[in-house]
Homo-oligomer: A and B are copies of this chain.
Amino acid sequence: MPVERLAEDVRLMREAGVNFVRVGESTWANWEPADGVFEFAWIDRVLDAMHAAGIRVMVGTPTYAIPPWLVQAHPDIMVPALDGRRTGYGARQNFDVTHPEYVRRAERLVCVVVEHVRDHPAVIGYQVQNEAKGYGTASEHAQGLFRQRLREKFGTVAELNRRWLLTFWSQRLASFDEFIISPAWTNPCTLLEWRRFQQSLATATIRREAELVRELMRPGQFITENFDFWWRREQSTGPNPEVDHFLAAPALDAAGIDVYHDMQDAFDGHTIAFCGEWARSLLPGRNHLVLETNAQGKGLQFGQFPPHDGQLRQAAFAHVAHGARLVAYWPWHSIHAGNETYWKGILSHDLEPNRLYREMKRIAGEFAALGESLRGLQREAEVAILHSHDSQSALLDRPFSPQVSYADWLLQLHRGLFERSLDCDFITERETDLGRYRLIVVPCLYIADDAVLGRLVDYVRAGGHLVLGFKSGFCNPDAQVRACRMPGALREICGFSYQEFCNIPRLSLRPNAWPVSAAENWATDFMEYLQLEGAEALAWPDHPEFGKYPLVTRHRIGTGCVTYLGGVLSPALTGEILFAAAAAADVATAGGLWRWPVVHRALVNAAGETVHFLFNFSAQSQSVTLPARSETWAAPAGETVRAMGKVTLGAWDAQVFRGKSEPAVR
């Protein structure tokens, strides 16, 4: 801080109704200004002040940003990339997480920190690391660990040569020692294993720190990690290919996430819904924590876009409506120097109350008024999206289109559900209890072993409904393409096979079998040349050559059904096909009543009441009629809305109602 003002900050927080702060996650140099020398006065002072004000504190382990003295002592601790070039000091998250000197000191520091703060009454929990990753390290330590991984996985080089097809381009190894990863490797098998290795470094770091904390912490305290999503400048936030949240989460008591989304006219609620449904799926039954989200905006590289009036409040309710039990902003006040000078906080650099401070205060007031209604909000979804981290990873190296990524396609499918107020869980290909979902959407299961494919077959044969995307079943877990007609093990439930596929320009479909306009009726970028073997063709491209092959098919097997998307479809078509599949699967759709910009969510709280959330993600007010079969909804102020009753939503509005028991509106 350029000025001393702890007391003033605490006063402003209290006045606004803030009851939680997160501290400590990049303060190594404060805790340990020199090797083995520790200082605590600075943190005690903060904890005491917070405690005195009744504000609870989560302490982050300060291990994701290293101090200068560690670099001076061990210059090779800076992370080297695949090409061997080391980054310099000056940022964060850029050291070699496999370096023994880092690991030894990070472990020591975690213990020192937890031992020091665990008994402070303000401290309720811990965040281990922050956005943990492997940082792409290709140091000699990392190379050694990767070779060890190969040894353990493949046993012999002959097996490795065989499964990675290293005969190609004369790359057959005579011993594991010959293997060195470099930027020149383009074999998809190698690249997928390397991506998995990097992901495993993140998981290992989280697990190691969580174990240390768990051993030392006070009963009743919790452990979380701040999971981040995939930042992509001009595209939506998506699954993060650098870390597998599903594998890391079991080490934690609660999943934490940071959610940064577009604001102003680009605020549509979708990123919050995606991140929330993702996070609540990591540790089912346990509400997640939004550890960071937009205050005045994101960093300069994304543009400066402070929220319009009302949007901060709307976003807060949107987090809650997707299962969050905490909404925390980053940062409290705008920082006066350093990299994040323009990653602006609730307070501006002037440190005075402002428009957004006042809106945050309003949010805290409404949360307090709703009180028990919002406790323990849970939702048993009827729809699941099956995400495959391996598939995303492998397709980064062998994309089906230069324009459309796996993440784009998954998000388009999720958006199709979201815009029709259909909520969903995310599951992975490791999920064995598929039967609890009425509909499973599989965007693109490019990498899968036989057991995974078998479970999907069994699900459909047992009456399950599947919306299946292109390229599913294509490769085995080594990223080797399967030597069979595609989609391989899924061929029979799909009712077709294909031998070829193609990148395509935008093509209209015939017939236009769903309620979309002619302008929205198209496929693009990629299609497979499906040869029917029992399935029903629903649409073909309107083209003399490509039109020889259908693009969307449906295959019923008993009461089970596979709707297949054989190419990239327009967002509107994707949404309508999903909606039709959901209706056919008897998912509660409220008859299609809710359409974006109006979004409805319903959860059950700890008291067993259904809590309804209605959002208007637009600047134009919206009038909504409740469905005919709806129960009576109670608004916070006491008034009620009955079936067929009207609710008016203002610009960027969110409203909350209590219902009875059954969240599904059919």
Q: Give the chain B neighbours of A164 by CB distance below 8 A.
A: 337-338
Closest CB of chain B to A194's CB: distance in Å? Answer: 10
User: CB-nearest residue of chain B relative to A353?
Assistant: B499
In the complex with contacts A172-B67, A349-B481, A181-B90 CB distance below 8 A: yes
* Residues from 157 to 176 in A contacting B, C-beta threshold 8 Å: 164-174
A480 touches B29 (CB 8 A): no
A336 touches B165 (CB 8 A): yes
In the complex with contacts A27-B170, A350-B485, A184-B355 CB distance below 8 A: no
B30 touches A354 (CB 8 A): no
Residue A62, interface by CB 8 Å = yes
Residue A515, interface by CB 8 Å = no
User: CB-nearest residue of chain B relative to A486?
Assistant: B350
- Alpha-carbon distance A83/B112, docked complex (angstroms): 35
Closest CB of chain B to A108's CB: distance in Å? Answer: 15
The interface-forming segment of A301-309, A557-565, A596-604 is A301-309
B500 touches A339 (CB 8 A): no
Q: Give the chain B neighbours of A350 by CB distance below 8 A.
A: 483-486, 499
Closest CB of chain B to A132's CB: distance in Å? Answer: 16
Q: Give the chain B neighbours of A189 by CB distance below 8 A.
A: 337-338
Contact digits for A189-209, partner B, Cβ 8 Å, 1 yes 0 no: 110000000000000000000
- Alpha-carbon distance A305/B305, docked complex (angstroms): 42
Closest CB of chain B to A491's CB: distance in Å? Answer: 10
In the complex with contacts A481-B334, A481-B349, A87-B187 CB distance below 8 A: no
- Alpha-carbon distance A500/B179, docked complex (angstroms): 54
User: CB-nearest residue of chain B relative to A165?
Assistant: B337
- The range of chain A's interface size is 35 or more
Of A29, A305, A340, the most chain B CB neighbours within 10 A belong to: A29
Q: Give the chain B neighbours of A88 by CB distance below 8 A.
A: 82-84, 180-185
B479 touches A184 (CB 8 A): no
Residue A348, interface by CB 8 Å = yes
Contact digits for A75-102, partner B, Cβ 8 Å, 1 yes 0 no: 0000000111101111110100000000
User: CB-nearest residue of chain B relative to A525?
Assistant: B303
B91 touches A27 (CB 8 A): no
Closest CB of chain B to A637's CB: distance in Å? Answer: 27
Of A65, A180, A340, A486, the most chain B CB neighbours within 10 A belong to: A180
In the complex with contacts A169-B92, A182-B88, A187-B349 CB distance below 8 A: no
In the complex with contacts A2-B483, A174-B68, A91-B352 CB distance below 8 A: no
Binding site for B on A (CB under 8 A): 2-3, 26-30, 33-34, 62, 65-69, 71-72, 82-85, 87-92, 94, 164-174, 177-190, 264, 296, 300, 303-306, 308-309, 334-342, 348-352, 354-355, 398-399, 402, 478-486, 499-503, 526, 529, 544-545, 619
